Amino acid sequence: MVRYSARGCGKKQEFVNSYKFRVNANGKSVDIWLIYRCKKCKHSKNLTIYERTHPGRIPTELFECFMNNDMETAMEYGRNIDFLKKNNAEFK
């Protein structure tokens, strides 16, 4: 479990992996996030995987996993301590 400030709760709460990705394309770049949700209020927190990246720089198979909300890929990112630290997670 990781902890973040939840706007809905007004204090730091436990957030859990939703196993869903958000992919946003804008012109020639793409942003990809892994979505975490507050256990109490269900407020979402997007953890950055790729930011303003050309889609061709992301391996095709991995990009497809993001587009299809591949649970195994989401679990891999959710267990990656470096990824979580990069997204300012506090650990319980």
pLDDT, tens only, 14-55: 899 999 999 999 889 999 999 999 988 888 999 999 999 999
d(CA 51, CA 76): 19
Query: Which tokens belong to 54?
Result: 């050309």
Q: What is the pLDDT of residue 1?
A: 66
d(CA 9, CA 25): 31
Q: Is 66 helix (H, G, I), strand (E, B) or coil?
A: helix
Terminal alpha carbon distance of the chain: 6
User: Across all residues in the chain, what is the average pLDDT?
Assistant: 92
Q: What integer is the mean pLDDT of 52-63?
A: 96
Q: What integer is the mean pLDDT of 51-60?
A: 96
The answer to whether residue 92 scores a pLDDT higher than 80 is no
